[in-house]
Amino acid sequence: MQALRQAIRPRIFPLFVRHYSSALPSAKLNIPTDFSTTPILAHAASALPDSLSLGPSPRTTRQNLYQSINSALSYALRTDESVIVFGEDVAFGGVFRCSGGLAAEFGTERVFNTPLSEQGIAGFAIGAAAQGLKPVAEIQFADYVYPAFDQLVNEAAKYRYREGSLGRSAGGLVVRMPCGGVGHGGLYHTQSPESLFTHIPGLIVVVPRSPIQAKGLLLTAILKSKDPVLFMEPKTLYRATVEHVPEEPYFLPLSKAEILHTGTDLTVISYGAPLYKCMSAIETAEQQLGASVELIDLRTIYPWDRETVMESVKKTGRCMVVHESMVNAGVGAEVAAAIQNDVFLHLEAPVRRVAGWSTHTGLEFETFNLPDVARIYDAIKQTIEY
């Protein structure tokens, strides 16, 4: 939180200093995530997920999310001279330190600041991509992506389609943006606008949950994907999540979900920061209710991995979707609708959505607005008992 306060100072100052409470002494469910023990993170090199397809005993470094993003950017810049990295305040390392040291290592021709204009950043990136570069553009906060909405929706997403047989596209493009709640971001440092982009054919929307995921998914987005990728980074995880990240490059597939925890009675589908709260709620539910709950990380929000989700729901017969952004027309709406369409006969309870309420992300209300462990736990309980 200290990091965020420092980070956003250039944008919204003066920022008054205040103290934030953690948990109520009486709380049994809404206890802050202990990132040092959560089973979601690889706390030892031996705990690396098999999905990374690495050789035997890979060398690892303990890194947090911003450091793993930095190492992905560094590797991409080193291996492909068509990669460039830019945005507001990127050259000195970025307000979240994701691009630290890159300008010094790779030169200001390839890592540079732009004027403060999101439509300019997106438009510039699209032109560079259409001419064969692999631009990695940064929007300082997802809350400020809207000035670039026209460029992303009408231009980046439709470039390949309208070029037809000519084959030019904005496929080299990656747009990174910090998103989601961090406790005190108020209206414009909290938003999760992913569902606005999942409604846009031609864009790939990715939300990583951890340092390992971020590095592998970002490397795929930059070096492998031929489609424009919006890479939305939960800023609350930048420093909080630390794990053993393989030093050698690896590529995680896009549009592929991952089962984080297997179960037989209920499927919980989520992505990004709420996964940690889902895991806490599931641990409690398994202890207290004796339920066996499966947890799926979508990772790519669009085009999403229907097969993994449907197979899981076929098995469990019950499911729920959890995300921070507003429930109405959110990612959960699409996932829930697809589930009832594809595996209707397997369902034994309504598909539940636990998400932000249909309101704005007001400063003092975040605890009550975004899904917490209590709401997720309660939804698990109700769905199991339905």
Partner 1 sequence: MDFIHPAENTAIPTYRVMDSDGVILDPSHESQDLKPEDILTWYKNMVSVSIMDIIMFDAQRQGRIPFYMVSAGEEGIAVGSAAALNASDVIFSQYREAGVFKQRGFSSADFMNQLFANKHDSGRGRNMPVHYGSKELNIHTISSPLATQIPHAAGAAYALKLQDTQAGAKDKRIVACYFGEGAASEGDFHAALNIAATRACPVVFICRNNGFAISTPTLEQYRGDGIASRGIGYGIETIRVDGNDIFAVHKVTKEARRLALQDGGKPVLIEAMSYRVSHHSTSDDSFAYRAKVEVEDWKRRDNPITRLRKWMERKGLWDEGKERELRSTSRKDLLKAFNEAEGATKPALEFLFRDVYEVLTEEQKSQINELRDIIERYPEEYDLSVHDRGIESLKIDK
- Structure-token pair, residue 282: 């599931």
Q: Which is nearer to partner 1, 154 or 264 (CB)?
A: 154
The half-sphere exposure of 130 on its side-chain side, counting CA atoms within 13 A, is 18
Nearer to partner 1, 342 or 378 (CB): 342
Give residue 216's identity as a one-letter amino acid code.
G
Shortest distance (Å) from residue 204 CB to partner 1: 8
189 flagged as catalytic: yes
Of the two residues 105 and 307, which places its CB atom closer to partner 1 in the complex?
307
Nearest approach, Cβ of residue 41 and partner 1 (Å): 30
> How buried is 376 (Cβ within 10 angstroms: 0-12 exposed, 13-18 middle, 19+ buried)?
buried
DSSP-assigned beta bridge partners for residue 64: 242
Closest contact distance (angstroms) between CB of 203 and partner 1 is 9
Q: Active-site residue 184, yes or no? A: no
Query: One of 189, 244, 261, 323 is an active-site residue; which one?
Result: 189
Q: Which residues pair with 245 in a beta bridge?
A: 61
- Rank residues 88 and 143 by Cβ distance to partner 1 and give the closer one: 88
C-beta closer to partner 1: residue 28 or 162: 162
Q: How far is CA 114 from CA 123, 125, 141, in A?
A: 12, 11, 15
Q: Which among 173, 170, 191, 195 has a CA at the least distance from the CA of 182?
A: 191
Nearest Cα neighbor of 224 from 58, 69, 98, 72 is 72
Shortest Å, Cβ 303 to partner 1? 4
**Binding residues for partner 1, per CB under 8 A?**
81-82, 84, 109-110, 112, 114-115, 117, 119-133, 135, 147, 150-151, 154-155, 158, 160-169, 171, 201-202, 204, 226-227, 255, 303, 306-307
Q: Which of 88, 118, 138, 243 is catalytic?
A: 118
Question: What DSSP line would sit under 76-126, residue for residue?
Answer: HHHH-TTEEEEETTTTTT-TTSTTTTHHHHH-TTTEEE--S-HHHHHHHHH
CA pseudo-torsion sign 359, 33, 246, 5: positive
Min dist. Cβ of residue 117 to partner 1 (A): 4
Going 176 to 181 to 187 to 189, the CA torsion angle's sign is negative
- Based on CB atoms, which residue is closest to partner 1, 75 or 106? 106
User: Nearest distance from residue 254's CB to partner 1, in Å?
Assistant: 10
- Tokens for 133, please give them: 């570069």
Tokens at residue 126, please? 């699209």
Query: Are the beta carbons of 149 and 127 closer than 8 angstroms?
Result: no
Question: Shortest approach of partner 1 to residue 67 CB, angstroms?
Answer: 27
Element (H, E) at 295: strand 293-297
Report which residue type is found at 368: F
CA dihedral 100, 104, 110, 113 (to 10 degrees): 60
How far does CA 323 lie from the centroid of its chain?
A: 11
Residue placing its CB nearer to partner 1 in the complex, 259 or 338: 338
Could you give the residue numbers annotated as active site? 118, 189
